[in-house]
């Protein structure tokens, strides 16, 4: 197991180096002069020049890269060209809402998606299965930002149960916190669970076709026992992999969700930085989110190998 | 004359047989047929958009701003008095344009790169490492960063979606090619002295058709979704272009006074993506027997 973990961690390093290369190149693949774009339409030549020196864009590219790598490894992620705040500061300020939403939304997605997928496979070709499949098909097709808009319109504008915008920290007011995160978490939960339903159902269907399930039924076990004592145990293993997909869904979902519900989190920061073409922020956030994504997938792989020894070979 | 008559009689049962075959196909593949029908209808709507728009989607009429749906304006008007129905109908053009372009471009680049790396160890090692790296990014985040870099325009949006989707297509094609090159018919082609490029074009490429078609249909739907998400976030197609994502993004601010501005384009958007996904699922069921029943 230790050997496997080391192997996987080592395999993640070239991926991260590549991620860094892509992230670094972003500024340089911009058509025209990056400093010019960032300075905006109303900047004079002096402003552009100043910004260029500030960002080190006038140095040779190799030197810039080395600078960038050493700074990043030290944890200095650069600062916004608009507010002048460092990325670390900005992310720290905005981490609370984003963590609340991803944890809440992720839990909800798992709680809806996995049981629904298991039941759909267990009762395959029944009404329950059809409902689960329609739910999954709709969840994959309906864009999150539009579904969020509908939720907001129904529960915040019409029934006035939840606030239309904003986020309340759990440390300030628990009731207000719950009301401010319910709709965003519901949105992340619904959109996240759609693919979970599909993948869980598919992997459970495979388990139900296995010989040991037939044996269990043949020796006279009830359906309930077949499901809980045999099928679920074997089926739980492949389901772990869907958590990786869920992580990708949450990372992108949070950008859209925080925009729809006007929540000042990291996702909103991504959207704003991209709109303003605030390159240092875009770069650091891309690097940060991609690293989180790589780390989650690494953990999923290791967890998988832990429960299924065959993978380690 | 008699012969013609006889021919008619004899064709009658077979055409009836064909008809019942179509019926049976429609029943067993209901979701596929439904999806294809919706896609055809949306495409028709996009083609005849100028004829059925009733208003110019760009015409401002500040006097009529934020009007609820009426006989005059079927889907109401937006914050500057533009007709939401006209904009929604027109939006189909942008979505389908993006989706079709992405599906075609990704298919071509994916097949070319996939076939080459499937046959060349050196290229395989380099290209697959690069693509693994690309896939380490969450798609929408990478798309956002790329659009921020190269600037937002319709063609840049298409380019960016192609960049984030191509690695997946290459993987699919490469996998198929790796298994194909061990097959007997490829060996025999090689044995009779067929040059490599002919083998690639005549034997390998055509056999990647089914999985490529399935993958392309997935990208067709996801391209619509990505374009609309980018536009919704304000960095996709330029704001004046009536794409569904833009209309929803601009309309969402008027949630208190005019929910119809964002509501109607969203219905069409969701329906179109659903239809594309249903067609994709149907294709997978029909073309990939291994997955049949697993769905």
Taking the Cβ of residue B223 and every Cβ of chain A, the question of whether any pair is shorter than 8 Å is answered with no
Residue of B nearest to A284 (CA): B145
8 Å CB contact of B270 and A30: no
Rg (CA), chain A: 24
Contact A61, A28 (CB under 8 A): yes
How far is residue B246's CA from residue B231's CA, in Å, rounded to a whole number? 5
pLDDT, position B295: 37
pLDDT greater than 80 at residue A59:
no
8 Å CB contact of B233 and A149: no
Q: At what angle do helices A232-260 and B139-150 cross, to 10 degrees?
A: 30
pLDDT, position A237: 78
Task: Sort A84 into a burial class: Cβ within 10 Å, 0-12 / 13-18 / 19+.
Answer: exposed
Contact A267, A259 (CB under 8 A): yes
How far is residue A154's CA from residue A151's CA, in Å, rounded to a whole number? 5
Average pLDDT in chain B: 86
Compute the average pLDDT of residues A12-16.
88
Neighbours of A44 (CB within 10 A): 9
At residue B6 the predicted structure's pLDDT band, cuts being 50, 70 and 90, is very low
Whole-Å CA distances, B32 to A125, B196, B279, B288: 17, 38, 5, 15
pLDDT greater than 60 at residue A227:
yes
Q: How far is A35 from chain B (nearest CA, A)?
A: 12
pLDDT greater than 60 at residue A66:
yes
Running DSSP on this structure, what letter comes out for residue A120?
H
Residue of B nearest to A147 (CA): B266
Compute the average pLDDT of residues A204-227.
88
Taking the Cβ of residue B248 and every Cβ of chain A, the question of whether any pair is shorter than 8 Å is answered with yes
Compute the average pLDDT of residues B20-27.
73
CA–chain centroid gap for B54, Å, is 27
Share of chain B above pLDDT 90, in %: 46
Residue of A nearest to B281 (CA): A137
Single out the residue of B266, B267, B167 nearest to residue B219, CA to CA: B167
pLDDT, position A247: 85
8 Å CB contact of B141 and A286: yes
Give per-residue pLDDT as tens, B210-265. Answer: 889 989 999 999 999 999 999 999 999 998 889 999 999 999 989 888 899 999 99
Single out the residue of B125, B223, B120 nearest to residue B169, CA to CA: B223
Taking the Cβ of residue B260 and every Cβ of chain A, the question of whether any pair is shorter than 8 Å is answered with no
Neighbours of A313 (CB within 10 A): 6
Minimal Cβ distance to A157: which of B137, B139, B255: B255
Tokens of A133: 């499949």
- Give me the interface pTM, i.e. the ipTM: 0.89
Taking the Cβ of residue B290 and every Cβ of chain A, the question of whether any pair is shorter than 8 Å is answered with no
pLDDT greater than 70 at residue B123:
yes
Residue of B nearest to A287 (CA): B137
Tokens of B185: 């018919």
Compute the average pLDDT of residues B79-95.
91
How far is residue A173's CA from residue A177's CA, in Å, rounded to a whole number? 6
Q: How far is B149 from chain A (nearest CA, A)?
A: 5
Q: How far is A138 from chain B (nearest CA, A)?
A: 7
Whole-Å CA distances, B231 to A253, B41, B95, B226, B238: 15, 24, 11, 8, 8
Residues in chain A: 313
Contact A113, A194 (CB under 8 A): yes
Neighbours of A292 (CB within 10 A): 15
Q: How far is B132 from chain A (nearest CA, A)?
A: 7
pLDDT, position B151: 85
Instruction: Report CA dihedral (B70, B74, B80, B82) to the nearest 10 degrees.
Output: -140
Q: Euclidean distance between the first and final Cα of chain B, in Å?
A: 52
Single out the residue of A261, A243, A242, A82 nearest to residue A167, CA to CA: A261
Whole-Å CA distances, B229 to A10, A68, A209, B112, B188: 35, 31, 39, 29, 49
How far is residue A186's CA from residue A111's CA, in Å, rounded to a whole number? 12
Average pLDDT in chain A: 87
Give per-residue pLDDT as tens, B137-191. Answer: 988 999 999 998 888 899 999 999 999 999 999 999 999 999 888 889 888 998 9
pLDDT, position A32: 66
Taking the Cβ of residue A9 and every Cβ of chain B, the question of whether any pair is shorter than 8 Å is answered with no
On chain B, the residues whose CB falls within 8 A of the CB of A21 are 133
Q: Residue A254: which residues within 8 A CB-CB, separation 6 or more?
A: A98, A101, A102, A105, A188, A265, A266, A267
Contacts of B46-53 with C-beta under 8 Å, sequence gap 24+, read B46/B89, B46/B92, B46/B93, B46/B96, B49/B89, B49/B90, B49/B92, B49/B93, B52/B89, B53/B83, B53/B85, B53/B86, B53/B89, B53/B90
């Amino acid at each position: 197991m230790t050997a496997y973990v080391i192997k996987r961690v080592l395999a993640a390093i070239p991926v991260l180096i590549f991620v860094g290369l892509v992230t670094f190149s972003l500024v340089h693949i911009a058509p025209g002069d990056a400093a010019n774009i960032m300075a905006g339409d109303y900047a004079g030549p002096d402003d552009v020049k100043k910004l260029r020196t500030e960002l080190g864009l006038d140095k040779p590219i190799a030197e810039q890269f080395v600078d960038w790598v050493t700074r990043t490894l030290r944890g200095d992620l650069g600062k916004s060209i608009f507010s002048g705040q460092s990325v670390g500061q900005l992310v720290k300020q905005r981490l609370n809402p984003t963590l609340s939403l991803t944890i809440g939304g992720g839990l909800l997605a798992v709680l809806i998606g996995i049981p629904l997928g298991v039941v759909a496979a267990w009762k395959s070709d029944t009404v329950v299965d059809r409902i689960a499949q329609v739910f999954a098909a709709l969840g994959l097709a309906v864009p999150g930002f539009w579904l969020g808009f509908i939720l907001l319109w129904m529960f915040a504008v019409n029934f006035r149960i939840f606030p239309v915008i904003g986020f309340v920290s759990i440390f300030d007011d628990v009731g207000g916190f719950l009301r401010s995160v319910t709709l965003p978490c519901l949105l992340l939960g619904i959109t996240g669970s759609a693919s979970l339903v599909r993948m869980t159902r598919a992997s459970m269907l495979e388990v139900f076709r296995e010989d040991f399930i037939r044996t269990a039924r043949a020796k006279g076990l009830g359906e309930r026992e077949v499901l809980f004592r045999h099928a679920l145990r074997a089926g739980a293993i492949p389901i772990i992999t869907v958590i990786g997909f869920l992580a990708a869904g949450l990372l992108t979902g949070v950008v859209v969700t925080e925009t729809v519900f006007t929540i000042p989190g990291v996702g909103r920061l991504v959207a704003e930085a991209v709109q303003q073409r605030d390159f240092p922020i875009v770069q650091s956030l891309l690097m940060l989110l991609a690293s989180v994504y790589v780390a989650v997938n690494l953990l999923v792989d290791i967890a998988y190998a832990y429960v299924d020894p065959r993978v380690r070979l | 004359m008699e012969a013609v008559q006889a021919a008619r009689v004899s064709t009658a049962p077979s055409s009836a047989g064909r008809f019942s075959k179509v019926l049976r196909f429609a029943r067993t593949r209901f979701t596929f047929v439904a999806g294809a029908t919706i896609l055809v209808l949306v495409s028709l709507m996009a083609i005849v958009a100028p004829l059925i728009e009733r208003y110019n989607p760009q015409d401002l009429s500040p006097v009529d701003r934020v009007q609820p749906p009426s006989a005059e304006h079927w889907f109401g008007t937006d914050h500057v008095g533009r007709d939401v129905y006209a904009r929604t109908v027109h939006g189909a053009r942008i979505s389908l344009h993006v989706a079709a372009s992405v599906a075609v471009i990704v298919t071509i680049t994916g097949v070319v790169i996939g076939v080459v790396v499937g046959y060349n160890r050196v290229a395989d090692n380099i290209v697959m490492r690069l693509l693994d790296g690309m896939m380490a990014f969450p798609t929408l985040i990478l798309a956002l960063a790329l659009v921020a870099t190269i600037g937002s325009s319709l063609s840049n949006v298409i380019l960016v979606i192609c960049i984030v989707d191509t690695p997946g297509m290459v993987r699919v094609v490469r996998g198929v090619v790796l298994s194909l090159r061990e097959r007997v018919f490829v060996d025999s082609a090689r044995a009779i002295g067929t040059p490599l490029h002919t083998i690639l074009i005549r034997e390998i490429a055509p056999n990647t058709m089914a999985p490529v078609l399935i993958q392309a249909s997935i990208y067709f739907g996801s391209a619509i979704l990505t374009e609309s998400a980018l536009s919704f976030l304000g960095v996709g197609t330029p704001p004046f272009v009536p794409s569904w994502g833009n209309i929803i993004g601009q309309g969402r601010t008027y949630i208190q006074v005019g929910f119809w501005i964002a509501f109607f384009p969203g219905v069409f958007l969701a329906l179109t993506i659903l239809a594309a996904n249903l067609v994709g699922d149907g294709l997978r069921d029909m073309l990939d027997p291994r997955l049949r029943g697993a769905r």
